Amino acid sequence: VIKDKLKALLHFINQNIGEVGGRAFVDSAPVLDRAWAQRSGLGWIGKHTLLINQKAGSFFFIGELILDLDLEPDHPTTDHCGTCTRCIDACPTGAIVQNNLVDANKCISYLTIEYKKELPASFQNQMEDWAFGCDICQDVCPWNRFSAPTKEPAFTADERILKNYWADWQEITEEVFKEIFKNSAVKRTKFEGFTRNINFLKK
């Protein structure tokens, strides 16, 4: 969704400025999204290592257009986390080991999405009900009181996802998984990874 919008923006630039070469990226290339976003003044990197914006919190996507066009740069903003440690204190696996440092081997998002082996038994009863990703560090962040649900229709969840109960996920078949999550980031974990996560949580 975001990449399509960036491509539309590039088309708009070409129509209104002239021929400008560029490419859009949304977590799809070795581009330092957060670092560039911070340097461009979109926010600061919180203790949980996510980008925080004073007006929108951290519940947003970032992407970039890399252009062969000279632009006047904005300036970085300052850090506004202060002495708050809510994200560190709330992480059930202790993944945020210190300010701006996350141990991926303990992060529920990493474990449920990127990690391909059997989940370590040491995390039993520590992952709450997170079967794909985790937002605890964002949920407790005071800056997210300024976040608001998107009005973008393309992000509307499939009704079957919203209506399914815990028992339904335990019985899900590969065919149903592929159908329900065909347009969702959940497909990244694949059926095997998703059912592994579900089975781990129900033990």
Q: Which residues are catalytic?
A: 27
Which of 63, 201, 43, 177 is closest to 123 using CA atoms? Answer: 201
What is the 3 state secondary structure string of 19-44?
A: CCCEEEECCCCCCCHHHHHHHCCCCE
Q: What is the residue type of 13?
A: I
For residue 37 the two structure tokens come to: 């976003």
